[in-house]
Structure 1
Amino acid sequence: MTQKEPVKKSKYHLVDPTSLSFKLFLAYDIFMVFIIIFNLFCLGMNFFLMSSIGSWFFHTIHLPAVLDFYREHLHPWVITTEAWFIVFLIFELLVRWGIAIAQRHHQRWFFFPFIHWYEILAIIPHLRFLRLFRAGVIAYRLYEMGYQIFPKSWQDKGLFYYRVVMEELSDRVVITVLDGLKHELNTSTTHKDLISNIVQHHREMFSQVLAEILQENLSRELRADRERIAKNVGVIVNQAIEDTPELTQLLRLIPLVGGRIEQQIQSIGQRLGENITHGLIDPMAEPAQSSSSQPNLYADIAQRISRIEIENNAHLDELVRSAVFESLEAVRKQVKVKQWQEALKEQQPD
């Protein structure tokens, strides 16, 4: 039975939804969202109606009287309302700042204007669009409380386009960085110092990895072929004795037992070759463990290899350059894959 993942709780999960303070808080947030959107709508329509495009539109539909009525009677009211709304935003901001100080919402009393910077800038007439940002913050806070502000389909669509934008931006940044890094490696020689520093810093790790590779692979092969190698060496020693005519001639001078001695020497030589071979292979086929007092042959070999100087080695430089460039190209190809296109294909019906 799989363990259920813990449910992610928002910072408002301890708020009592039945309390009066919570209901007032909720009503105030909804009210602020409404008046901000209404205010921006009125300002947007005022901008359109007072522009030359609005004048052209109403003359085109033959309703210039409606436009004149708005400009004469409603436009001053919109300007006055905007002035009063700015005063309301200033007063509301100061009141909330005072409440934040009294209830210690932040570690320092002067943190409030920095945290709510967008609200302060939204008071400036030319930055009115930031009021919509505040409405979005309030809507997100209501969403964290569990209220369905927008339909699920709208949320999914908005999240999809947000990911599209972020992926395109991040892909451009990553590709530019990779191209710059590739150009730097092609046009400078600093990468040689970088390679040398990397090797110097990882000599001990390189030695350990090399010893483990040798011990795991070479010792396994030696254990598997130990008997065959020993027999082959024994046969070679026996053949070497047979191919020594001086020894054969000397033994044949001994009457009766010369041939027998020759056979014994060949047998002893073959057994000696096998034993010597076993003695040479055993330390490598069965390497000493870390707890043993005997030294580990592979560890000693790896340490000696790791101490070899690698500076001015053209083949090593070419190897590292090839590995780095292929890695960069692989990352570049992966970054160029449009994940949002793959997600869009999966959402489309067959």
Structure 2
Amino acid sequence: MRIAQVAPLHESVPPKLYGGTERVVSYLTEELVKMGHEVTLFASADSETKARLVPCAPQALRLNSSCQDRLAHHILQLEKVFQMAEEFDIIHFHVDYIHFPLVRRGQTPAVTTLHGRLDIPDLVPLYREFREQPLVSISNAQRLPLLWANWKATVYHGLPKDLYSPYLENGQYLAFLGRISPEKRPDRAIRIAEMAGVPLKIAAKIDEADRPYYEEVIKPLLKSPWVEFVGEIGEKEKNEFLGRAMALVLPIDWPEPFGLVMIESLACGTPVIAWRCGSVPEIIEDGRVGFIVETLEEAVEAVEKIPYIDRVDCRKYFESRFSARRMAQEYLDVYEIVIGESYPLLKAV
């Protein structure tokens, strides 16, 4: 199958540091290539892939200090995609909805995976207008604000099985990995560590939009003797950071669409303690690979019970549910459905 993957340009594919969507696009692209498909990746020029790369920006926009208008690069990307559209059996978009008017007027089948939160009132009239657009959710919970949209499947993220090695000895600290932002609730993570009397290591990036929150709320809390702020880390450091932890804490306060860090942790053999929000109940089997909590007190109790979680089972659970090969195969099934709906007569033959 001739497949186009259209990635956001904010990060490279895969990202050099933080970046969830671009990381998933990378895993999917490389797995489809391994399976023998002809894949073209539209991404920033500093991306690395075994697919054919069509560069759409000189480098990842977040790392380009001279970039003042990120939208301009994404418009140019769309022009490149649709100039080449006839070369593909299907175009797979990962860039929210910016392409919808062009897809509506084009001939090549297309599908869009939505990677972000959808509980935003402004999205409702847009998705109603483009109600015919085939969509993929990354959790069932993500769909809830737009249940009436044209969903074709829920496809959970997956990782290459050899990406991380499991650490089977119990760790000595709690790990927080992600962004410093109000919805990620690093303040809760710090409070859990203090209440449980267990060290916490925070590896997180700080977006400029979240800088005031960091300075006013989080920075004073980092003075706690229980906390070590590591800063932003890349793929090379992640395996050891997560693997040597006793548990990942995900004290989120928002409808998490998926939470890639949860399956990264499980791939390292590390249990997860997560708030009951968004996708969490779909990803974590409570009591088996971690604990789902709703209060600080429950989180502290979960920390005390972590030694009873089998780290070998955490790794097996990851392999059985969240591999990149499973993700790629499910997307191939979606591609077949969308192509069949675009060419019903061909499907009938």
Establish whether TM, by shorter chain, passes 0.5: no
User: When you count helix as a share of all residues, which structure comes out higher?
Assistant: 1
User: When you count strand as a share of all residues, which structure comes out higher?
Assistant: 2
TM-score of the two chains, using structure 2 as the length reference: 0.22
Task: Choose 1 or 2 for highest CA Rg.
Answer: 1
TM-score of the two chains, using structure 1 as the length reference: 0.22
